[in-house]
Amino acid sequence: MSQLPYTQLEHLFNRIYQLQHLASIAHWDMAAMMPAGGSQARGEALAEVSVMMNELLSESRTGDLIHLAQEQQTALSDWQQANLREMHRLWLNATSISSDLVKAKALAGSECEQAWRSLRGENNWQDFQPLLQAVIRLTIEESQQRAAATSLSPYDALLDLYEPGQRSAAIDLIFSELVDFLPDFIQQVVARQADEPLIQIDGSFSIESQRKLGLRLMSEVGFNFDHGRLDVSHHPFCGGVPEDVRITTRYCETDFSESLMGVLHETGHAKYEQGLPKQWLNQPVGAARGMGIHESQSLFQEMQIARSQPFLQFAAPIIQQFLAHEQGDKQCWTAENLFKLNNRVKPDFIRVNADEVTYPLHVILRYEIEKALINETLTVKELPEIWDEKMQHYLGISTAGNDKDGCMQDIHWTDGSLGYFPSYTLGAMNAAQMYAAADKAIPDLSQNIAAGKFTTLNQWQQDKIWSQGSFFDIDGLMVHATGEKLNSQYYIAHLKHRFLPE
């Protein structure tokens, strides 16, 4: 007797998950360990795996099984029905784009990303431009194929890959509210902070001391080293799979906070991965619920917790233990001084190093540019110029002639990941709302954090967010975790409370 359609689908998606597992580890190795000479062969291998996964998803038999399973879904459990819904969504995504385009984009993306790792450091826009142009050309083609299949606009068809159900029209409204709020707020915060005394921490901090500090705080906040590790790459990221999470950072010997906060940020991503429902890990419903939710967990860990006064009260002695011997002035290591240093607002070039208040403007700039690229109202050749214009408009600084800190600074566009950037600020808003809900549910939350006790908070996140995987849609998960859909006022209230307390 043949298996039921749904059971056959579970077997199929388990096969796809195993391929994703291998591809994820190979991507991590490419970024963290692989010698440069292996890039072409690795790119070709990963492109082949991408084609295999796409073909498994998009073959007609898969679609037939999904339709048959949908006819019988009343016999399925709630989690199985949610899994079938996610299977259908992934199948639609896969059938919207040709296998030839999947392979061509993977190859072009691999070549562009590998070249970026050296060309960015050289500030070599001239040689990088044609490689990026090839990726963007293929991404435009992808957006048009997806738009034709989904009846969405080309940009929304890409956005939907990262934020299912989200549309640029809604994001335009949210971001316009931030553009109205942030510029004046930034000026007020900068003016207040100018009158606040603080001690700069100058010195050289060895990479090994920074690494040990990062490992210690990762352990304190609940990272499971039996199922993950920390390494180095050009651009910090969280990769691998839930059973084997790989996070990376980069070190600056004159600024330990860059690495430390980067490590804690990626640890937020990693804890989410490690907390996903184990019985569903090889199925679509067991995956994280979109990039905005994923980013909410990294920003929850970094912005809501790690840069807060209670956390720094707990962490200050540990930071001093690992680093103070490399800097003589002990007064600079107080929790109060570390809080001021880690929440200093200053418009600057680099998104990943930006403070919490200016960060959304970095995202809005990229969002506007990538929309224009996909809509073909902007060319890759014009990127340096438009980047400089928007940086001056939003943040009052120029990137003219400094492309490595301008349009070449991010890895995302090198493989055609356009539609991703809005997730960062959506994630910040989600994080603020989630923390407000956790604070309400755990009356002594601040005291727990100040004492280095994270078990109750981690369990709240496990129950409300991590263990839910993709059982809910985005709105449903926010309601489950916080009692309401995303409300930007929590984010604005958080910024006011932290940076302009009354």
When computed from its CA atoms, the radius of gyration of the chain, rounded to whole angstroms, is: 23
**What pLDDT tens digit does each residue of the chain (502 aa) get?**
468 999 999 999 999 999 999 999 999 999 999 998 998 999 899 989 988 998 899 889 999 999 999 999 999 999 999 999 999 999 998 889 888 998 899 999 999 999 999 999 999 999 999 999 999 999 999 999 999 998 999 999 999 999 988 899 989 988 999 999 998 999 999 999 999 999 989 889 999 999 999 999 999 999 999 999 999 998 789 999 999 999 999 999 999 998 999 999 999 999 999 999 999 999 999 999 999 999 999 999 999 999 999 999 999 999 999 998 766 567 899 999 999 999 999 999 999 888 999 999 999 999 999 999 999 999 999 999 999 999 999 999 999 999 999 999 999 999 999 999 999 999 999 999 999 999 999 999 999 999 999 999 999 999 999 999 999 999 899 999 999 998 888 999 999 999 999 8
User: Whole-angstrom Cα distance, residue 423 to residue 164?
Assistant: 11
Q: Are 94 and 102 in contact (CB under 8 A)?
A: no
User: Whole-angstrom Cα distance, residue 177 to residue 61?
Assistant: 46
Question: Does the annotation mark 266 as catalytic?
Answer: yes
Q: Are 49 and 20 in contact (CB under 8 A)?
A: no
Say if residue 297 is exposed, middle or buried (CB neighbours under 10 Å; 0-12, 13-18, 19+): buried
Q: What is the pLDDT of residue 2?
A: 64
For strand 228-232 and strand 244-249, is the pairing parallel, antiparallel, or unpaired?
Answer: parallel
Contacts 24+ apart (CB under 8 A), 14-20: 14/282, 14/283, 15/56, 16/53, 16/56, 16/57, 17/281, 17/282, 17/283, 18/282, 19/49, 19/52, 19/53, 19/56, 20/53, 20/241
User: Whole-angstrom Cα distance, residue 198 to residue 211?
Assistant: 26
End-to-end alpha carbon distance in the chain: 71
Q: What is the pLDDT of residue 247?
A: 96
User: Whole-angstrom Cα distance, residue 80 to residue 157?
Assistant: 26
Q: What is the pLDDT of residue 442?
A: 98
Q: What is the pLDDT of residue 1?
A: 41
List the chain domain ranges.
5-151
Q: What is the pLDDT of residue 353?
A: 82
Catalytic residue among 111, 113, 266, 356: 266
228 SS3 class: strand
Phi, psi of 111, deg, nearest 5: -65, -45
**H/E segment holding residue 99:** helix 99-119
Amino acid identity, position 414: T
Q: What is the pLDDT of residue 235?
A: 79
User: Whole-angstrom Cα distance, residue 101 to residue 85?
Assistant: 26
User: Whole-angstrom Cα distance, residue 398 to residue 105?
Assistant: 32
Q: What is the pLDDT of residue 304?
A: 97
